[in-house]
């Protein structure tokens, strides 16, 4: 590790832009369709492959009902690792937005 470099930033280099965008729109617990709408995405398969699956596999998100991944009541929430990523990446993903 380079001197003066924070250890919490190590994982950020491995995060795709899609995962970074996803964690920065997730607030509380949200349904898949709510996440897609927040990101302006229409195609479920693309969302699952490029956004949701990588975020789950890297441990940034978790399912509220892991036994029913495609259940109608399924929601997603940030893990502690995901919350840390939001703190690290929020300026990049919120820059220039009119929120």
Does a structural domain hold residue 79? yes
Does a structural domain hold residue 10? no
pTM: 0.79
Does a structural domain hold residue 26? yes
Structural domain containing residue 87: 15-92
Q: Look up the CATH number of the domain holding residue 78.
A: 1.10.10.10
Does a structural domain hold residue 1? no
Number of structural domains in the chain: 1
Does a structural domain hold residue 70? yes
Q: Which long-range contacts (CB under 8 A, 24 or more apart) does 15-19 make?
A: 15/58, 15/60, 15/85, 15/89, 16/50, 16/54, 18/50, 18/51, 18/54, 19/51, 19/54, 19/55, 19/58, 19/60, 19/85
Segment 73-96 mean pLDDT:
89
- Checking if the pLDDT of 95 tops 70, the result is no
Segment 9-19 mean pLDDT:
70
């Amino acid at each position: 590790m380079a001197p003066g470099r924070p250890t919490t930033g190590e994982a950020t280099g491995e995060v795709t832009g899609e995962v970074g965008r996803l964690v920065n729109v997730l607030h509380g617990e949200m349904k898949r369709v709510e996440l897609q709408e927040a990101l302006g995405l229409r195609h479920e398969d693309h969302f699952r492959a490029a956004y949701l699956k990588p975020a789950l596999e890297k441990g940034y998100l978790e399912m509220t009902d892991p036994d029913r991944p495609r259940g109608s009541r399924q929601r997603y929430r940030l893990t502690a690792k995901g919350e840390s990523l939001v703190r690290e990446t929020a300026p990049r993903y919120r820059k220039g937005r009119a929120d």
